[in-house]
């Protein structure tokens, strides 16, 4: 070995250190390498045009990375070791309910008896799956206080659109033309987007000084052209809408429907039911409350449950119990059609059923109670460090504000969140809800212990003390993560697609 070779750097496959970057798959690519060995049939040597018409053939070969299985496993394992995850530590990302979930649920989803069944298999050959879907639908209806549900929507926002299409179908069936949907100003951005996609106009109602829907402003906004209202309860400020019964009565009085955005169901699961509050349509984010970790974009599931008067409009086909006790696919009488290519993200549905069953009727309320207790403990513990936006008991998330810290030291909420990464905690949600200045939204969830919450509080105390001493240092945090402060707007403004990157 020459001395040059000896000093020639680390092997491409060595574990990454500090700020080193992992090469892209294209940079690791070696021509001719492959992760699969296909059986030689002789077909590959024959020209493609023997099998496909010219309109289906590409002019140029597709650019793909050539990697062995070994290369791929190394690449993704090295990348995964640079990530923060719920398995590694606390992930208090408000409104997202990023909680640790029992590995049992993953084991269920990994069972080949479930995951080797094709969704197009005839009902007679997939009775177990149909029973699972029926059982999940029944349990979700029990939890929400609704009559029937669709399991098809693939995420919360897909559930919202489904719910709005159901609202539209319901009003259309009564030849009742309505134009507007009401949304509070604290709502998640997907709500107004779904309203627009559903063909309605958004009317925004302001929150009052207590962070709740301003009932007088709502009453003033209501009219015969209002199709419904979209609400999440507890709302995105983490507060329970105490006047929900008055809100429901006012909306129903003008013939509107109440849509429940179930992103915050973790706060009330097993304790209070949206159906009992007066809601007509409810979506649930199974990937939040019921067991699927959802970092990195999915997969998720956003089932929509409805009251009896909307059941006939649900997407179909739906798994249903036949008169002879077997299970079959059935299309609701006035179905709006499909909202998913098949029956929904099936393994997320299987995880959710496992989660509900493993907790049982006694365990589910404890999920909500501990989530609320943890958030209030943190809010109270941080009282002198970062005050709550609204000084009163919260539900499952504590919305704090760095407004006075910024005025005093110049350190922003973003700086505090980034500095938390150096302390070994995932950053909270920042600058949401929009109605809170310098918002830091902590959702500790029920799965974190008092010791972890105390460590989180101490980390925040250190960060705030640092801000008071020298806030400039925080402006460049984090310092100890594989990637430090990035320009968050640039990626969206100067998009480099993967294919461009490969061709460079």
Ligand X SMILES: Cc1ncc(COP(=O)(O)O)c(C=O)c1O
Residues in the chain: 504
Taking the alpha carbons at both ends of the chain, their separation in whole angstroms is 34
- Tally the C-alpha atoms within 13 A of residue 222's C-alpha that lie toward its C-beta: 20
Which one of the spans 44-52, 151-159, 377-385, 480-488 is the region binding ligand X (CB under 6 A)?
A: 151-159
- Under the binding rule (CB under 6 A), the answer on residue 207 touching ligand X is no
Verify binding: residue 289, ligand X, rule CB under 6 A: no
Among 137, 241, 261, 446, binds ligand X (CB under 6 A): 261
From the CB of 97, what's the least distance to ligand X, in Å? 8
Nearer to ligand X, 105 or 230 (CB): 230
CB of 112 to ligand X, least distance (A): 28
238 part of the interface to ligand X, by CB under 6 A:
no
DSSP alpha helix (H) spans, 337-385: 346-381
Kindly state the smallest distance separating residue 164's Cβ from ligand X, in Å.
Answer: 13
Indicate whether 194 belongs to the interface with ligand X (CB under 6 A).
no
Instruction: Please identify, among the stretches 6-14, 101-109, 150-158, 459-467, the one whose residues bind ligand X according to the rule CB under 6 A.
Output: 150-158
Rg (CA), the chain: 26
- Integer Cα distance of 143 and 140 in angstroms: 5
Q: Quick check: 229 binds ligand X (CB under 6 A)?
A: no
What residue is closest to ligand X based on CB?
156
C-alpha to C-alpha distance for 291 and 148, rounded to whole angstroms: 22
The residues that bridge with 374 in the sheet, in sequence order, are none
Q: Tokens for 92?
A: 């208090």
Reading the block at residue 422, the tokens are: 């150096």
Please identify, using beta-carbon distances, which residue of 302 and 478 lies nearer to ligand X. 302
| 339 lies in the site for ligand X, by CB under 6 A | no
Long-range pairs for 56-65: beta carbons < 8 A, 24 or more residues apart: 63/26, 63/499, 63/502, 63/503, 65/24, 65/25, 65/26, 65/28, 65/29, 65/502
**Cβ–Cβ < 8 Å for 323, 162:** no
Q: Which of 92, 153, 156, 198 binds ligand X (CB under 6 A)?
A: 156
- Token look-up 């997939």 returns 126
Binder to ligand X among 150, 152, 285, 376 (CB under 6 A)?
285
Nearer to ligand X, 157 or 421 (CB): 157
Q: Compare residues 67 and 151 and give the one whose CB is closer to ligand X.
A: 151
Q: How many residues bind ligand X (CB under 6 A)?
A: 14
Q: Which stretch binds ligand X (CB under 6 A): 110-118, 154-162, 210-218, 353-361?
A: 154-162
Site for ligand X in 465-484 (CB under 6 A): none
With binding defined as CB under 6 A, does residue 292 bind ligand X? no
**Contact status: 95 vs ligand X (CB under 6 A):** yes
Core vs surface per residue 256-281: b (16+ CB within 10 A) or e: bbbbbbbbbbbbbbbebbbbebbbbb
74 or 211: CB nearest ligand X: 211
Contacts of 231 (CB under 8 A, 6+ apart): 184, 187, 213, 241, 244, 247, 258, 259, 260, 261, 279
Going by C-alpha positions, the residue among 287, 307, 288, 256 that lies closest to residue 144 is 307
CB of 156 to ligand X, least distance (A): 2
In DSSP terms, 281 is beta-bridged to 259, 306
Q: Which listed residue (139, 178, 180, 188) binds ligand X by CB under 6 A? A: 188
- CB of residue 211 vs ligand X: minimum separation in angstroms? 15
Q: How many whole angstroms separate alpha carbon 504 and alpha carbon 499?
A: 9
Which range binds ligand X by CB under 6 A, 62-70, 155-163, 174-182, 434-442? 155-163
Does position 429 interact with ligand X (CB under 6 A)? The reply is no
Candidate ranges 153-161, 171-179, 203-211, 335-343; the one touching ligand X (CB under 6 A): 153-161
Quick one: which of 109, 133, 263, 314 contacts ligand X (CB under 6 A)? Answer: 263
Helix or strand holding residue 194 (H, E): helix 190-197
Nearer to ligand X, 295 or 387 (CB): 295
Query: Using CB under 6 A as the criterion, which residues of the chain lie in contact with ligand X when the complex forms?
Result: 95-96, 155-157, 188, 190, 232, 236, 261, 263, 285, 300, 302
């Amino acid at each position: 070995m020459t001395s040059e070779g000896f000093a020639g750097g680390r092997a491409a496959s060595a574990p990454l250190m500090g700020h080193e970057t992992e090469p892209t798959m294209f940079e690791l690519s070696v021509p001719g390498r492959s992760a699969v060995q296909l059986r030689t049939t002789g077909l590959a040597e024959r020209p493609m045009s023997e099998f496909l018409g010219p309109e289906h053939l590409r002019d140029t070969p597709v650019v793909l990375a050539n990697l062995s299985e070994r290369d791929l496993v190394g690449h993704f394992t090295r990348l995964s070791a640079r990530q923060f995850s719920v398995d590694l530590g606390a992930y208090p990302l408000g409104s997202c309910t990023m909680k640790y979930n029992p590995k049992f649920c993953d084991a269920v989803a990994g069972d080949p008896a479930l995951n080797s069944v094709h969704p197009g298999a005839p009902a007679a050959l997939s009775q177990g799956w149909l029973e699972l879907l029926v059982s999940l639908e029944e349990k979700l209806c029990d939890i929400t206080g609704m009559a029937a549900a669709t399991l098809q929507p693939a995420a919360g926002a897909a559930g919202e659109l489904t719910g709005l299409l159901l609202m539209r179908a319901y009003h259309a069936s009564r030849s009742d033309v309505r134009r507007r949907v009401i949304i509070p100003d604290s709502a998640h951005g997907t709500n107004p987007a779904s309203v627009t996609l559903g063909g309605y106009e958004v009317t925004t109602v302001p929150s009052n000084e207590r962070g709740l829907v301003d009932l007088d402003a709502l009453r003033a906004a209501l009219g015969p052209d209002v199709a419904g209202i979209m609400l999440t309860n507890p709302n995105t400020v983490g507060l329970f809408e105490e006047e929900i019964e008055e809100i429901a009565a006012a909306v129903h009085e003008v013939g509107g429907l109440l849509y429940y955005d179930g992103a915050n169901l973790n706060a009330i699961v097993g304790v209070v039911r949206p159906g009992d509050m007066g809601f007509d349509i409810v979506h649930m984010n199974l990937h939040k409350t019921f067991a699927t970790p959802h970092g990195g974009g999915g997969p998720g599931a956003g089932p929509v449950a409805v009251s009896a008067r909307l059941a006939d409009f649900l997407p179909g086909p739906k798994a249903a119990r036949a008169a002879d006790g077997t299970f079959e696919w059935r299309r609701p009488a006035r179905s709006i059609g499909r909202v998913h290519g098949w029956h929904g993200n099936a393994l997320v549905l299987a995880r959710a059923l496992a989660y509900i069953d493993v907790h049982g009727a006694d365990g589910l309320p404890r999920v909500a109670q501990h989530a609320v207790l943890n958030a209030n403990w943190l809010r109270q513990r941080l009282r002198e460090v970062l005050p709550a936006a609204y000084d009163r008991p919260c539900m499952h998330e504590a919305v704090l504000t760095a407004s006075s810290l910024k005025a005093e030291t110049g350190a922003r909420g973003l700086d505090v969140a980034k500095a938390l990464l150096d302390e070994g905690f995932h950053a909270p949600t920042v600058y949401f809800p929009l109605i809170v200045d310098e918002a830091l939204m902590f959702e500790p969830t029920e799965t974190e212990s008092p010791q972890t919450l105390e460590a989180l509080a101490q980390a925040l105390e250190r960060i705030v003390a640092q801000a008071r001493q020298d806030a400039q240092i925080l402006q460049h945090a984090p310092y100890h993560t594989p990637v430090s402060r990035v320009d968050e707007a640039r990626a969206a403004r100067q998009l480099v697609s993967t294919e461009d990157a490969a061709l460079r």
